[in-house]
Amino acid sequence: MTTFGEIVEPTSRSTWEDWDDIVPEQTITKLALQESTGILAKVESFIILEGKYLTELVALHSQHELEVLNSITKVNLHIYKEKSLNSYLCVVKDYNLLQSSEIVELLKPFLLVSKNVIAIQTKPLAEYQSSEVTNTDCIIRAVFTSNLASKYLNFNYPRLEQPNIITGLSAGVICMSDFLNLPGVAIICYLECPEEYRIDEVQNLLKKLNIIHNSASRPNTILNSNLYI
């Protein structure tokens, strides 16, 4: 007997079909600010802190004078007015990257009234790609807009090298700032241990921006205890 012309399927296909790999599309709701922006006052800087690590550092700092202006609760985004510095501070964590462009559009009114735009995000050190071997637990790089005419953007961090890229809200805000011809910088902090809250390089960066004034203590969590040591 010959099998010529017959369709012989692999045994693995008996347990699945092509359509089994189709993942249902996630339902993404339309975002909106809780309050109307109205007429915003001119400020020196619009600072964005992206990620759990940076937002918790701000929460740990009790002396910071912040006035809540607006928020987008669906993406854990909150905007504050820093009274003493005359700046807006935006903190965001745990959001869907597909919503980055929509969030940037909602933040556009704040960008337009800010003399400087500064976005800071953290990434695992393992994601940093370089031909040089480094023995440090923190590497900081920056991406600048074309307009650098600002004393507040006097950062001496090296430019982010290729093939490294930035994504998410920080990337979107800096692209928008460059389009609007605003001075802006995105600072990327590559960290070996993101759960460590006493990384000097990051603390010094936030102190330079007057976001914190003292070294922040660690949160009281199991990850930072010696319960299982």
Q: Please write the tens of the pLDDT for every residue from 48-75.
A: 999 888 887 776 654 457 888 999 988 9
The secondary structure of 165-209, three-state, reads: CCCHHHHHHHHHHHHCCCCEEEEEEEECCCCCCCCHHHHHHHHHC
Q: Please write the tens of the pLDDT for every residue from 207-222.
A: 888 887 765 445 444 4
Q: Please write the tens of the pLDDT for every residue from 117-155.
A: 999 999 999 899 987 767 788 999 999 998 876 555 678
Pick the more confident residue, 134 or 195: 134
Is pTM beyond 0.75? Reply is yes
Give the pLDDT confidence score for residue 207 in this predicted structure.
84
Give the pLDDT confidence score for residue 139 in this predicted structure.
92
CATH 1.10.3720.10 fits 43-213, yes or no: no
213 in Cβ contact with 61 (< 8 Å): yes
Give the DSSP H/E element, type plus range, for residue 223.
none
Q: Tokens 């790609």: give the residue.
A: 129
Mean pLDDT of the chain: 80
Gap between the Cα atoms of 171 and 121, Å rounded: 10
